[in-house]
Amino acid sequence: MAQLDGKVAIVTGAARGLGRAYAEALAAEGAAVLACDINDCDDTVAAITDAGGRAAGLQADVSSMQSCQAMAEQAVAEFGKLDILVNNAALYGGLKGARFEQLEEAQWDAVMNINVKGVWQCCKAVVEPMRAAGGGSIINISSLAAVYGLPYGLDYVASKAAVIGMTRAMARELGADRIRVNAVAPSAVMTEGTADFFGEKLEKAKTVIAAGQVIQRNLEPEDLTGTIVYLASDSSALVTGQTHMVDGGSWFL
């Protein structure tokens, strides 16, 4: 029996990169997955269904509460209930780095709107369906940057630190509902978004990042999926409020 048989999951930011990897991994373990993104998730859904899994796609904007509510409603309408949320959608790859005093206010506001408000709104949208299902698992995606302190990216760092704080607070509020809330904080993972973020400095960044790890190789998407499946499954039934560092041993909490 697969670990997630009978479970229903929403994954945001699922059109490519880590979000797609999370969606495929959850489906491979038996979950029905609603793959959501501001872009279409046709490729993600096709990959899952071609492998024999169950999935549907929905274009959604996490900065809109109406859109988040539609995600939760669609998951229940399509698959009957809702057990798992992976809050992966975030602004990252296209961000323009700068010293903190030189960051553009419009970019700061956009990052907070998606990376912080978006996480909050998705959580708000899924709480009632999860209560109706008898509990659930919310997995918020933070970043090593939140605890390590990435220079020239204060907007991103602040947003991902907020995700850790929200995770802890929501875990305390939702324990009575049997809804667990945890965060996963990876180092830079080799995805399209990371390539966009570092641009022409990517190869140098990869070398520096790997050198700072106990396990000195760069992370790939499949290095994250085991942690996501664990937190989504009943194997982590008494794990909540935690931030799980998946960073090759860069930072010890």
| Residue-wise pLDDT tens digits, 53-71 | 999 999 999 999 999 999 9
At residue 54, the pLDDT reads 98
At residue 201, the pLDDT reads 73
Q: Where are the alpha helices (DSSP H) in 94-184?
A: 105-111, 118-132, 145-148, 154-174
Q: Mind listing the pLDDT tens digit for each residue in 125-153?
A: 999 999 999 999 999 999 998 998 888 88
Q: To 5 degrees, how large is the angle CA 53–CA 57–CA 61?
A: 145
Catalytic residues, by residue number, are 152
Instruction: Identify the segments of the chain with pLDDT beneath 50.
Output: none
Pairing state between β 54-59 and 84-87:
unpaired
Pairing state between β 136-141 and 32-37:
unpaired
pTM of structure: 0.93
At residue 63, the pLDDT reads 97
Alpha carbon 248 to its chain centroid, in Å, reads 18
At residue 223, the pLDDT reads 87
